[in-house]
Amino acid sequence: MQADQDGQQADTVGADDGQQLQADVAKAESAASLEEFLRQGIRETMPQQVAEQLKSVKCRTVEGDGSEITYLFGNGGKGGEDTLRLDFTYKDGLLDQYVSKEYGYLDALSESIGEVWHDPDHTEKDLESRSIDLIQKFEKAFLKVSPEDGSQYKKLKTPARYQGDETGESYRLFKNTVSGDTYVVCLFYDMVIQYDAANGKFSPKNAAKIAYKDYATPNNEWEYCNIQDSKERKIMTQWMDAALTQMDDPGYETLKASLQKNLKSQRECGFSLYYKGKYWTAYDGGYLVGEDGEILYSAKLTSFPGGILKKTVDFAPVKPKDFSGISEASLVYVPEEAPERDHESLKITDEKELAMLEQAFSHAEYVRGGSDCPMGEIRLWLYRSKIAKKELIVALAGDGCPIFRAGGVTYRYDDSKFSGSLKKKLHSYDVPDSTTSAQMDKTDK
């Protein structure tokens, strides 16, 4: 009996050792694959001299807290001092930071690189264009993202640490306004020398993102849900890739026509998916509509992200039937140019006026495709005394149109039966003289 137990124990230990060995081998293979991926990116985005210097050097790794690991490429070799070093730090399998640590090597080569910078006829526009070109090459190589144009990059003030020496004026700091990531470009070296992933906004470039508009979001902007779970990020991206293959099918046009017909009876879910430089609006029933009119079908991608939004940012769909039991309302004005100042507000407590609001909002009509009316500055807080989630916050149109956005979806309400005093209150903060018949036509979809 004891011998059998000893044998079973030995088998278990052997199995555990085998599993650990497999895990170690898989980890080593993964690291080797990532190292080659980084080397390829270096060859594609940096001066040839840099790639040559680092071609044969061994990559070193430094493990940090949790899942953090840094891959270091230095030209010093074993025991030597680096005059050039590139550090790539990953967290949860995604690039979090990259830094080029220059110790003299690139300075010595500066006359043979940085062609645009050394051109005496260059203009600031030329320099910014070259900077954005370098950033886009970096994103394509290391982040697997291909932006459509340069309009999503905003130039920021160059950090003080990059100023003061003879190369100071060659540095440019840019922010990707879609992802929130920042890049430092040195035109003296003709390369991106620092990358920092956005802090507080979701920005794994190789994954699908959830984009939404809440009561404070201007019409021409998006909020991005910070998906913490790497498994959720991965599975959403896999589903998106699978959905996109529908367009490769020879019978896609027939499928699209069928989807288009069924789409007419569906409403927006209140969020979009951003993937590979394009927004896809989610509709009830499993439909995704691209910016250029493409239509995909994926029930998973129109339901699963809603759960993530709810648990992450407490964002959920709002339907007309939710506007019931209103006991109090507050109109709040938050100017876009000075959101940090004290907000102006007024309360609506009159029972008749509250009943008018409830009647109008609970019978509001869905506006397909949203509205061009300005939103984000005027917000209406509605309090429901007998509902579990007591507060509802909607964005009111700031141009006098009877339009509001709630839960990412736009609605038109009938204000023809509002009293004069209620209309006056609701339009207290409207932009003067902005209501036009053309704007009303745009929302009549």
Residue keyed to tokens 């490429």: 73
Q: Quick one: pLDDT band at residue 87, thresholds 50, 70, 90?
A: very high
Q: Quick one: pLDDT band at residue 93, thresholds 50, 70, 90?
A: confident
Cross-strand partners of 224: 211
* pLDDT of 5 higher than 90: no
Check if the beta carbon of residue 397 is closer than 8 Å to that of residue 377. no
Query: Between β-strands 153-156 and 94-102, what pairing exists: parallel, antiparallel or unpaired?
Result: unpaired
* pLDDT of 441 higher than 60: no
Query: Between β-strands 153-156 and 171-176, what pairing exists: parallel, antiparallel or unpaired?
Result: antiparallel
Instruction: Provide DSSP, 339-367.
Output: TTSPPEEEEE--HHHHHHHHHHHHTPEE-
Integer Rg of the chain from CA: 28
Lowest mean pLDDT among 77-86, 260-269, 344-353: 77-86
Instruction: Provide DSSP, 33-93.
Output: HHHHHHHHHHHHHS-HHHHHHHSSSPPEEEE-STT-EEEEEETT-TTSPPSEEEEEEEETT
Per CATH, is 320-442 categorized as 2.60.40? yes
Residue-wise pLDDT for 401-427, tens only, equals: 999 999 999 999 999 999 999 999 888
Q: Quick one: pLDDT band at residue 277, thresholds 50, 70, 90?
A: confident
Residue-wise pLDDT for 27-66, tens only, equals: 545 667 888 999 999 999 999 999 998 988 889 899 887 7
Check if the beta carbon of residue 158 is closer than 8 Å to that of residue 144. no
Check if the beta carbon of residue 296 is closer than 8 Å to that of residue 391. no
| Angle of helix 2-45 versus helix 124-138 axis, rounded to 10 | 160
Q: At 316, is the secondary structure helix, strand, or coil?
A: coil
Q: What is the mean pLDDT of residues 125-150?
A: 84
CA distance 243 to 246: 6
Residue-wise pLDDT for 147-180, tens only, equals: 655 567 888 887 777 765 555 578 899 988 766 7
Check if the beta carbon of residue 290 is closer than 8 Å to that of residue 296. yes
Task: List the chain domain ranges.
Answer: 24-196, 209-313, 320-442
At residue 130, φ and ψ (nearest 5 deg) are: -65, -40
Residue-wise pLDDT for 374-387, tens only, equals: 888 889 999 987 76
Share of the chain above pLDDT 70, in %: 80
Provide the pLDDT for residue 30. Answer: 60
Instruction: Provide DSSP, 245-291.
Output: GGGGSTTHHHHHHHHHHHHTT--EEEEEEEETTEEEEEETTTEEEET
How many CB atoms sit inside 10 A of residue 105's CB? 16
Q: Which two tokens stand for residue 400?
A: 């006098």
Provide the pLDDT for residue 436. Answer: 38
Q: Quick one: pLDDT band at residue 287, thresholds 50, 70, 90?
A: very high
DSSP 156: E
CA distance 303 to 99: 39
* pLDDT of 195 higher than 90: yes
Question: Which position has the higher pLDDT, 249 or 356?
Answer: 356
Cross-strand partners of 219: none
Its pTM stands at 0.53
Q: What is the mean pLDDT of residues 205-226?
A: 80
Residue-wise pLDDT for 8-33, tens only, equals: 444 444 445 545 544 544 454 566 78
> What is the helix (H) or strand (E) element at residue 381, kind and residue range?
strand 378-384
Q: Which of 194-203, 218-227, 359-368, 425-434 has the highest mean pLDDT?
A: 359-368
Residue keyed to tokens 């039937």: 321
CA distance 63 to 67: 8
Cα end-to-end span (Å), the chain: 80
Provide the pLDDT for residue 200. Answer: 40
Provide the pLDDT for residue 31. Answer: 62
Q: Which amino acid type is present at position 48?
A: Q
